[in-house]
Amino acid sequence: MSLSQLSFLPYLEHETAKRPKDFIPIYEPWLGETEEAYVLDAVRSGWISSLGQYIGRFEQAFAEFCGVEHGVSVSNGTAALHLALHALGIGHGDEVIVPALSFVASANAVYYTGARPVFVDVDRHTWTLDPEQFEAAITARTRAVMPVHLYGHPAPMREINDIAARHELVVLEDAAEAHGARMNGSRVGALGRIGAFSFYGNKIITTGEGGMLTTNDGLLADRCRMLRDHAMPPERRYWHEEVGFNYRMTNLQAAVGVAQLERIEQFLSRKREIAAAYLAGMENIPGITLPYEQPGYTNVYWMVSILIEDPFPLNRDELIRELRSRGIDSRPFFHPLDTLPFYAEEKPCPTAHYLGLCGLNLPSFPRLDDSQIEYICATLREIAQRSS
């Protein structure tokens, strides 16, 4: 269903909160004149493929933003995860621990290498990888762990790094949803051996499609650079020691990325304001559990996410339909990965399953204005008060 179709849904009689004119989407990119200017500059320069000044500029600026030495741009976030795993030598016979609650790309990237994703349950509060369950799932075949900073909240990296070090496992951060999130001042992407980001259209900053690896390991960064370009060594053209990939980012994408990165602090502070406005607006609504921020960690609230629980009068899916009829888009949490037909596992992950049923993401894009947040909160409060 298109947005224009949705905006023609009838105005409902029982509505008391003042409804904005337009349908409120869950996310939209914020592109401005600088993005336009840089793209135009890239087009006019003729450097539209994967050579051109914006690539290096974007890689350097993004690495600096994360507080690491190296950034390696790639075609998308899934490619970033796959390339990192491949460059680390993970493949057939290996196991990689992945939280059961994530976007499917986290697990698929492991699967592409021939290794097996092993799903582990998440914490009830942060919704990220549970360190105890992680340690319990380690076997002789385990090579790596992929904490996911879900919806903008960092995974408990201190505990995860300790366990990984004791078992000699590689830590690959899936930071696709958490650009700028912190643990004690350090940014995600700098908290493991290597970090992977996405710049898809609805991520915190976007390049349309795009991704980046971040690391302090220079040899690993060089290996990723070579592998993303058909495994061609920089000093010997058309010679290939091994099978590589075409995972390069274009200069056009990087031009957008450089412009977005110039404004990321503005996006991040607006996103925290939005979260604070939602938290205040949804306080004490029976049956709505608000998002959490663990002490020592900074949530960037990629999505403002809530749980719809007893005694809320509608279940999560009914609420999504009701919100849509009132001009508000919302999204369910991911289906736990171990419930997908091609990953079905016997070991259950009850917390991920529970969250998968009752978790809901609300409109969270940085240009969402205060009156829209007020309308969304008033609508939720009104539904909650109905015949519960």
Ligand X SMILES: *Cc1c(COP(=O)(O)O)cnc(C)c1O
Residues lying near ligand X in the complex (CB under 6 A) are found at 76-78, 102-103, 105-106, 148, 174, 176-177, 198, 200, 211
CA distances from 221 to 12, 18, 83, 240 (A): 55, 52, 10, 18
Nearer to ligand X (CB atom), residue 152 or residue 366:
152
Question: Which residue is nearest to ligand X, using beta carbons?
Answer: 77
Residues 50/251, Cβ–Cβ less than 8 Å = yes
Q: Is 60 exposed, middle or buried (0-12, 13-18, 19+ CB in 10 A)?
A: middle
Residues 159/191, Cβ–Cβ less than 8 Å = no
Nearer to ligand X (CB atom), residue 95 or residue 177:
177
DSSP designation for 11: P
Q: Which two tokens stand for residue 200?
A: 């898809």
Distance of closest approach, residue 366 Cβ to ligand X, in angstroms: 17
Nearer to ligand X (CB atom), residue 153 or residue 381:
153
Nearer to ligand X (CB atom), residue 177 or residue 322:
177
Distance of closest approach, residue 174 Cβ to ligand X, in angstroms: 5
Q: How, if at all, do strands 95-99 and 116-120 pair?
A: parallel
Residues 199/209, Cβ–Cβ less than 8 Å = yes
Distance of closest approach, residue 210 Cβ to ligand X, in angstroms: 7
Nearer to ligand X (CB atom), residue 208 or residue 281:
208
Nearer to ligand X (CB atom), residue 302 or residue 312:
302
Among candidates 136, 108, 104, 105, which has minimal Cα distance to 120?
136
Nearer to ligand X (CB atom), residue 176 or residue 221:
176
Residues 150/143, Cβ–Cβ less than 8 Å = no
Distance of closest approach, residue 177 Cβ to ligand X, in angstroms: 5
Distance of closest approach, residue 30 Cβ to ligand X, in angstroms: 17
Beta-carbon contacts of residue 133 (< 8 Å; ≥ 6 apart) = 120, 121
Distance of closest approach, residue 197 Cβ to ligand X, in angstroms: 8
> What residues pair up with 211 in beta bridges, in sequence order?
74, 198
Count how many Cα atoms sit within 13 Å of the Cα of residue 187 in the half-sphere of its side chain: 24
Distance of closest approach, residue 104 Cβ to ligand X, in angstroms: 8
